[in-house]
Amino acid sequence: MLKACIFDLDGVIVDTAKYHYIAWKEIARELNFDFTEHDNERLKGVSRMRSLDILLEIGGLLLNEETKISLADKKNKNYVSYIEKMTSAEILPGVPAFLKELKNNRIKTAIGSASKNTPLILQRIGLANYFDEVVDGNKASKAKPDPEVFLLGASGLGVSPGNCVVFEDAEAGIEAALAAGMKCVGVGNPQILYKAHMVISGFEEMDFNRLKTFSEI
C-alpha cells in the first residue's frame, strides 16, 4: 500500500543540474579539457567527491588529495553562487500541485538527496518546512547507488520500504531505489532511466490517481 513518496531534489524538484554542470565545466576549463552535457549525465546523483573523480577520469588526470579537495571546494563556491539566487519560481512545473495532492491524501513525503546543499536549496525555494523528512548528503554516508539515503528516509517517516515510491532523475538514484526495495518513477529521458518502473517527462504528467494505480501494480 502506498504510504510515502521520497523525492530526489536535484533534477526532480528543481533543475539544479544545469548549475552543477556550469560549475564543473568551469573546473574542466581550468584544467584544459572539455566537459560535455553528455558526460554530465554520469555526475547526476553521485556525491561531490565522486563527481570530481569522474570528471578527472574524463579529462584523463590524476591529482593528489589536497588538490582534489581544493577543486571540489572551488566548484562548490561557484555552484553556491548560483543556488543562492534561486527562488520558488525555479520549482519544476507540476511539482507544487502534486505535492499538495499528496498532502491532501495523507501521503508522507521526504527528500532523499546526495547534496550537502539541500538545506540551502529548500530554503531558497520556500520548501524548507514542507517535507516530513529530509535525508541529504550531510546525513547519509554512502552515496547512491547505495540505498542508504532512501532507507533512512523511509525509517525517518516510519514507513516500510515496500510502501514508498521514489522519484529520481539519475541512473544511480534509480539503482538506489531498486536496491532499497522501493517502486521507482524516473523523471526525464526514458532511454537513460529505463531501469525505473515507470518514466515521466515531468510532473505535469503525474497526479495522485496515476500514482495510486502505479503503486498497486
Backbone angles phi, psi at 181, to 5 degrees: 80, 30
Provide the phi-psi class of 143: left if phi over 0, else alpha when psi is between -120 and 50, else beta.
Answer: beta
CB of 44 to Mg ion, least distance (A): 5
Q: Which is nearer to Mg ion, 70 or 116 (CB)?
A: 116
* Residue 149 CB, nearest approach to ligand BG6 (Å): 10
Q: Which of 148, 159, 150, 149 minimizes the C-alpha distance to 108?
A: 159
Residue 51's binding partner, choosing from Mg ion, ligand BG6, none, with beta-carbon cut-off 5 to 8 A by kind?
ligand BG6
Considering only 4, 114, 165, 180, the residue that binds ligand BG6 (CB under 6 A) is 114
Give me the active site residues, please.
Answer: 8, 10
Minimal CA–CA distance to 10: which of 193, 199, 188?
Answer: 188
Contacts (Cβ under 8 Å, ≥6 apart) of 217: none
Indicate whether 112 belongs to the interface with ligand BG6 (CB under 6 A).
no
Smallest distance, ligand BG6 to C-beta of residue 213, A: 28
Looking at 31-39, 43-51, 123-131, 155-163, which segment touches ligand BG6 (CB under 6 A)? 43-51
8 is a site residue for Mg ion (CB under 5 A) = yes
Residues 89/129, Cβ–Cβ less than 8 Å: no
For Mg ion, the binding residues (CB under 5 A) are: 8, 10-11, 45, 169-170
